[in-house]
Amino acid sequence: MAAYLWQAFTGEQMYRNGFGRRCFRFEEEWQTGSLTFQDRETGQLRNEAKILIVRSERTVKEIRDLQLAQQYERATRKDELFNIAMEAVKAHLKPVQGQKQYASVLILDAHWDREAKTITGHAALGGGANGIQLAIFGSQALQSYPTCLEEVIPAFTDCTRTDTNYVANDCNESGSNWEAANCGIGAHLHEIGHLFGCPHQESGIMHRDFVYFNRSFVCREPYSTRTRSPGIRLCQPKDECTWHRLDTLRFKYHPCFRLPTDAPLSNDESVQVWAVDNGKVMITAPTGITFVELFADGDSTCRAWIEYGNGDASSGSPPKQIVLTESDLKARLPEDQKNRQIKISVHSAGQGSHTVEDFGQLKSKNLTVKLPNGQLGFKGRRLGTSTQAGSQPEQLILESAFKQTKLLTSIKVFHGFAVDGIEFLYEDSTSQLFGKRGGRPGGSEFALGISHSPNLSARLPNRNTDTRRGEILMGFYLRAGLWIDGLEILTSLGRRSGIYGSPEAGSG
Helical segments of 17-108, H only:
37-42, 60-63, 80-93
* Catalytic choice (80, 179, 191, 399): 191
The residues, ordered by sequence, that sit 6+ positions from 114 with a Cβ below 8 Å of its Cβ are 164, 165
- 8 Å CB contact between 1 and 145: yes
Residue 255, Ramachandran bin (φ over 0: left; ψ between -120 and 50: alpha; else beta): alpha
Of 121, 126, 127, nearest to 70 by C-alpha is 121
Rounded to whole angstroms, how far apart are CA atoms 133 and 372?
Answer: 49
Q: Is the dihedral of CA 334, 335, 336, 338 positive or negative?
A: positive
* DSSP E strand boundaries for 371-436: 376-378, 408-415, 419-426, 431-435
Rounded to whole angstroms, how far apart are CA atoms 261 and 249?
Answer: 18
* Residue 191 appears among annotated catalytic residues: yes
- 8 Å CB contact between 104 and 125: no
Of 308, 334, 335, nearest to 322 by C-alpha is 308
For residue 148, the surrounding DSSP H or E stretch is none
Of 489, 463, 467, nearest to 478 by C-alpha is 489
For residue 248, the surrounding DSSP H or E stretch is helix 245-252
Positions marked catalytic:
191
